[in-house]
Structure 1
Amino acid sequence: MSRSGSLRYYIAARLLLAPLMLWVITTVVFLLLRATPGDPVDALLGPRAPQAAKDELRGQLGLGKPLWFQYFDYMGALLRLDLGQSLISQGQSVWEIIQKFFPATVELAFFSLAIALVVGITVGMVSASRPDTVLDAVGRLFGILTYSVPLFWFGMLLQLIFSVQLGWFPLGTRFPINIPAPDGPTGLYTLDSLLHGNLTQFLTSLYYLALPCLSLGTLISGIFERIVRVNLKQTLQSDYVEAARARGIPESRILMNHGLRNTLIPVVTILGLTFAALLGGAILTEVTFSWPGLANRLYRAIAQRDYPTVQGIVVFFAAIVALVSILIDILNAYIDPRIRY
């Protein structure tokens, strides 16, 4: 099979697997929500409401139907891209909730990933270029700690030090209430403020982003540090690098042009998994810092037993992770034909 033919086959296989993965995730979430203790009717009316009122509301919401009927009804609506209506926020569709809260999560994830890449690649490069030294030991310790420290604990620690003790950063939220928030088409405060040429709003947005992004980005950077360190260390010991040293090429050029370029291929591979971890970490970060994002809204919906909102947000997140994973796989298959399987 030719290279272009094998690439098309690989892309088609990945695209066919994505709907199957989404169906499995949707089914698991649907069953788990109904298996966990708690009743959304009690969350709406309270546990002391009359039983007749509960039965009437349960019938209106379709919760009195058999489980299999609810499942097929939900899957049919999902095929029509209808995520349903929120049980708690009456009159608000799940799509409206996603549209309102998702930009805050995107902004948090983007800047956190930028911090993770810069910190992780830098520490990994320094550690790999100076093997068996104090810097190498510090780099390995950094990778272990950032991979094992609980995210919520680290976020609370940063709040305690930089917000409570030093007063350098706000404890939480996305924007101060005494300043008009940026209003624009994207919902991303940093981008909308730049589109309107408002430097004050832009700097304020970065100021409120700093601590939660530092918390999430630092811990995720350990993934990149470990990947870069291991692969760069192996690359710097390869024969073609030794040949470059023998020709008198400066070590800095060898590190950047020969070592780091080849090391970044597995970094691209791990981006898809890191993005999934980023969305999972966003839930803890948004709750810790009271960040008004979609992950925080998901946490509230779980606590309130808002079935349609939980299912809709989880499916939405799963679709994004699947799409990003497919794009990363296709990019890697194009760069390195050996991974097409």
Structure 2
Amino acid sequence: MSRSTALRYYIAARLLLAPLMLWVITTVVFLLLRATPGDPVDALLGPRAPQTAKDEIRQQLGLGKPLWEQYVDYMESLLRLDLGKSLISQGQSVWQIIQDFFPATAELALFSMAIALVVGISVGILSASRPDTWMDAGGRLFGILTYSVPLFWFGMLLQLIFSVQLGWFPLGTRFPITLPAPDGPTGLYTVDSLLRGNLNQFFIALYYLALPCLSLGVLISGIFERIVRINLKQTLQSDYVEAARARGIPESKILINHGLRNALIPVVTILGLTFAALLGGAILTEVTFSWPGLANRLYRAIAQRDYPTVQGIVVFFAAIVAVASIAIDILNAYIDPRIRY
């Protein structure tokens, strides 16, 4: 079987498995929400509301049905791509909630990933290119710290230093409430401000993004640093690199043309897993910084026992991770011809 045919079979298998993965995630979330203590009707009406009013609301929301009926109803709605309506937000559809809040999360994730790639790859190169030096030791220490430090603690530390003590960065918002926010088709403030040619809004949006993105990006960068450092060290010790040195090729060209070309291939491989970690980290970052994104809205929905909103947002995030993983697998197969499926 040729490599292209094997790749097509692999992609087809992944596409067929993606709905199964989403079904498993949806089922687990559905059962966990109903197994944990608490009642969404109490969150809606308050614990002191009359029992008759609670029973009436429970019947209207379909919560009085047996569990298996609720599950069948939800799965039928999901097959129609209907994520339902929020129990708390006055019947607002979950799709509308995603549309309103996801751009803030996407912008946070994109800029955090950019910071993670730049910082992680740079530190990894410096560490691997100078083995057994203080830079190498510093790179290893950086990878350990960024992997082990709790994200919420690091975010609060940055807030305490740069926002509370120094007053350099704002807290708890995406754009100044005294200024009109960028309006455009994407919902990404940086992109929409550039589309309108408003550089002032663009730099203000970047200013408000800086601290949350730095918090999330730096900690995720440790993943890339460790991968680049390990693979670049192995590449620089290989036989064909030693042969290049023997021919008198400058070390800088060896590093760029021979070392980095092979050391960066695994970075593409782990991008899918890192993207999943990024969305998980976005929840902690948005809650810590009161960032008005979809992950923060998910946290509020969990606290309020808003079943449809929690289920819809989790399925949406899971679909994004599945699509991103498949796309990165395809990209990686084309970049690295050694991969076989």
TM range (shorter): over 0.9
Shift of 1:338: 4.5
Quote the Cα distance in structure 2 between the aligned partners of 1:340 and 1:37. Answer: 48
> Which residue number in structure 2 is paired with residue 51 of structure 1?
51
1:67 partnered with 2:38: no
Q: Which amino acid aligns with 1:86?
A: S
> How far 1:13 moved relative to its partner?
1.1
| Correspondence for 2:193 | 193
Deviation at 1:5, TM superposition (A): 1.1
Q: Tell me if structure 1 keeps the 8 A contact 2:3–2:340.
A: no
Q: What displacement does 1:333 show? A: 2.3
Deviates more, 1:294-303 or 1:2-11: 2-11
Paired letter, 1:116? A
- 1:84-103 maps to which residues of 2 (within 5 A)? 84-103=84-103
Counting matched residue pairs gives 341
Residue number in structure 2 paired with 1:289: 289
Give the conservation status (yes or no) of the 8 Å contact 2:227–2:267: yes
2:39 alignment partner in structure 1: 39
CA distance in 1 between counterparts of 2:232 and 2:338 reads: 20
Q: Tell me the CA shift for residue 102 of structure 1.
A: 0.2
Is contact 1:172–1:208 with CA below 8 Å preserved after alignment? Answer: no
Q: What does 1:230-245 correspond to in 2, within 5 Å?
A: 230-245=230-245
Cα deviations across residues 39-67 of structure 1 (Å, max 9, x unaligned)? 00000011111111111100000001011
- What is the Cα deviation at residue 337 of structure 1? 4.8
Aligned-pair CA distance for 1:91: 2.8
Which residue of structure 2 lines up, in the alignment, with residue 181 of structure 1? Answer: 181
Q: Supply the AA of the counterpart residue of 2:149.
A: V
Q: Deviations over 1:179-235 (max 9, x none)?
A: 110011110000111111111110000000000000000000000000000000000
On the 8 A contact 1:7/1:334 being kept in 2, the answer is: no
- The normalised TM-score by structure 1 is 0.99
Does the CA-based 8 Å contact 2:158-2:211 persist in structure 1?
Answer: yes
The residue type paired with residue 83 of structure 2 is: L
Give the drift of 1:83.
Answer: 0.1
The amino acid that maps onto 1:325 is: S
2:163 equivalent in structure 1? 163
Letter of the 1:103 partner, please give it.
P
Q: Equivalent residues in 2 for 1:173-322 (5 A)? A: 173-322=173-322
Percent identity of equivalent pairs? 89
Tell me if structure 2 keeps the 8 A contact 1:10–1:340.
no
What RMSD, in angstroms, separates the aligned Cα atoms of the two structures? 0.8
For 1:176, give the aligned amino acid: P
List runs of 5+ in structure 2 lacking aligned partners: none
Consecutive unaligned residues in structure 1, runs of 5 or more: none
TM-score by length of 2: 0.99
Q: AA paired with 1:226?
A: R
TM superposition shift of 1:339: 3.7
Query: How far did residue 260 of structure 1 move?
Result: 0.6
